[in-house]
Structure 1
Amino acid sequence: MAHTDWADERYRFEQRVARSAVGPPEHFSDRDGTTMLTVATLDAFEGDYGSTPYLMLTLGLSKAGRFLRSGDWGRVDGTFRSGTQALVLPNAEAEGFSPKARLMGLNINPERAHTVLADVGGIDALVPAAGSLGDDPLISSVMTALWHDAEAHGLCTAFLDHGLDLILRRFVEIDRPRSSASVRRVKPLSSKEIQKIAELIESRIGSDLTAAEIASELGRDMRSLTRSFRASTGYAPYEYLTFRRMERAKELLQTEETIMEIALQVGYSNPAKFAAAFRRFCGCSPSEWRCGVR
């Protein structure tokens, strides 16, 4: 995958917040954009959430209402209110709706999170937390403290490092209260299982397919499948699905088909969403890639 330009991703995220914010948002960022803290009141929303390479943590700061996020990691359906927490894994595609609400968000470079959680399975240990809304007092208090510290000192203090580590580990503890020794054991995928996943992905490359469906096909829970698949291939299942879609798109870009037609054939009804995924994996837009190979 292409190197992530975090300064560019920070700009994209700030623009996305600005489009839905009611009033001016507060943004705090480290120098290279790999960690961001944002506080904003966002208008009610319905549609495609869009994806980002950040690991995203969100805390409700006001009364809100019903929330739905359905996508790569399954379905999260509940009530968002003050103190509610949500976690979204990097590059996760989803759609749904959310109420008007004042929120605080922490965007984190996933490599950082993977390093912090290396002893408990890395970022894959957060998969269960991404499947539900939380209401943990410790997470709320630490996130709030990080916000007030950022207002006073910016997002460059030792407290930020300590706070992020506390939050990430707490998300893991809530959803999996067992010994780290048991977590480290990863049952590898057999060659037949890998082949079955590859065949499923190739057969569904132009239609909706979630990580939950892949896990169900193998009779595994999503967390164990993700860890085993990454150990065997270097990818999480949803990352591999996107990778294969982009490889197929490269083949189609050497034909006379339009970008819209190609997007539809590799599972994207929105060409802008396809272009964003292509740039993330290939380092350039589909049009730029086409010009470079023809």
Structure 2
Amino acid sequence: MPYPAPPARSDWVLRADTPGRIERIEAWFGGHGYDPHRHDTYSIGRTLAGVQSFHYTGSLRHGLPGTTLVLHPDELHDGMAGTDAGFRYRMAYIDPALIQQVLGGEPLPHIVGGVSSDPRLLRASETLVQAVEHPLAELEEQDAVYDLAIALRAVAGRPRGRKRLDYCATQRARAFILEHLEQDITLPMLEHVSGRERWSLSRDFRTLYGTSPYRFVTLRRLDRVRALLLAGCSLVDAALAAGFHDQSHMTRYFTRCYGVPPARWLQRLGR
């Protein structure tokens, strides 16, 4: 299916504004897109036009139309045009907790290389990477997450030789973090609330949710920053309200997570 040409202005990002648990974007970049950064979500994408190039797990990868991008949580990557023609793409950011609701405590599936030509992933991701102006109904979103989780597991294969994971204890720790983001959360606190020895808990948290407890806390605070910025708050007010020491502290973490500073992020969204 041909896609319309991108708007005349340079680099842009469109963000789905409809309610839902999955963040979806469509973007176009003529050259450099993002500096190296990491999300704590799966990044599931589709290149619509051009060549989407990125460094990932030690190699330069290329996303082409007809392939599926599957970036594992917390894997360092960047983004750039692979040719002078630029590239256009869509991406959906899937919370690993949604995948765990389907897999029920299995280690997160890992797609080697970050780009797949497997038709199962292409089919399973279709709903999630449709145009951002098309809202996802709640049941449609849930079905899409289920299909994606099953496809990820099928394509990645089940890992072998893993020790038993305590999914329930890790769920308790995650829920506690989400309920107490305004506090200075520590591993002893998580050990107490989960009933799991702290280092075993940290290992299980990484395996089940793709990132460490500390980074999970930081990224949930950055979620709060983004919501405040989109609501019109200043950088300094958003930083303080989300629990950062000051604006520069927040900006450092924001740039590490999203590959651009917050002011540039807002500019690309046309804010």
TM-score, L = length of structure 1: 0.48
Matched residue, 1:263: none
Indicate yes or no: 2:63 matched with 1:93: no
How many positions carry a matched residue from both structures? 180
Question: Deviation of residue 87 (structure 1)?
Answer: 1.8
Question: Deviation of residue 170 (structure 1)?
Answer: 0.9
Q: Does the C-alpha gap of structure 1 residues 54 and 79 become closer, same or farther in structure 2, counting only changes over 3 Å?
A: closer
Matched residue, 2:155: 174
Matched residue, 2:97: 111
Q: Decide whether the 8 Å contact of 1:30 with 1:36 is kept in 2.
A: no
Q: Decide whether the 8 Å contact of 1:86 with 1:130 is kept in 2.
A: no
Q: How does 1:77-92 map to 2 (within 5 A)?
A: 77-92=60-75
Q: Hey, what's the Cα distance between the residues in 2 that align with 1:102 and 1:157?
A: 27
Structure 2 segments unaligned to the other structure (5+ residues): 1-8, 166-198, 219-247, 258-271
**Taking every aligned residue pair, what percent have the same amino acid on both sides?**
13
Matched residue, 1:157: 138
Q: Does the C-alpha gap of structure 1 residues 273 and 132 become closer, same or farther in structure 2, counting only changes over 3 Å?
A: same
Higher relative contact order (CA 8 A, sep 6+): 2
TM-score, L = length of structure 2: 0.51
Matched residue, 1:264: none
Question: Deviation of residue 150 (structure 1)?
Answer: 6.1
Q: 2:16 aligns with which of 24, 28, 47?
A: 28
Question: Deviation of residue 103 (structure 1)?
Answer: 0.8
Structure 1 segments unaligned to the other structure (5+ residues): 1-20, 190-228, 247-269, 280-294
- Report the AA paired with residue 206 of structure 2: A
Q: Decide whether the 8 Å contact of 1:69 with 1:97 is kept in 2.
A: no
2:143 partner SS:
helix
Q: CA RMSD in A?
A: 4.0
Question: Deviation of residue 82 (structure 1)?
Answer: 0.2
Q: Decide whether the 8 Å contact of 1:40 with 1:104 is kept in 2.
A: yes
Q: Hey, what's the Cα distance between the residues in 2 that align with 1:112 and 1:44?
A: 33
Q: Decide whether the 8 Å contact of 2:22 with 2:92 is kept in 1.
A: yes
Question: Deviation of residue 35 (structure 1)?
Answer: 0.8
1:223-253 CA-to-partner distances (Å, cap 9, x unmatched) read: xxxxxx866744428845967xx9xxxxxxx
Question: Deviation of residue 61 (structure 1)?
Answer: 1.3
1:125 partner SS:
coil
Q: How does 1:104-143 map to 2 (within 5 A)?
A: 104-118=90-104, 121=106, 124-126=107-109, 128-129=110-111, 131-143=113-125
Q: Decide whether the 8 Å contact of 2:50 with 2:81 is kept in 1.
A: no
Question: Deviation of residue 163 (structure 1)?
Answer: 1.6
- Report the AA paired with residue 137 of structure 1: P
Q: Hey, what's the Cα distance between the residues in 1 that align with 2:11 and 2:88?
A: 11
Q: Hey, what's the Cα distance between the residues in 2 that align with 1:170 and 1:135?
A: 13
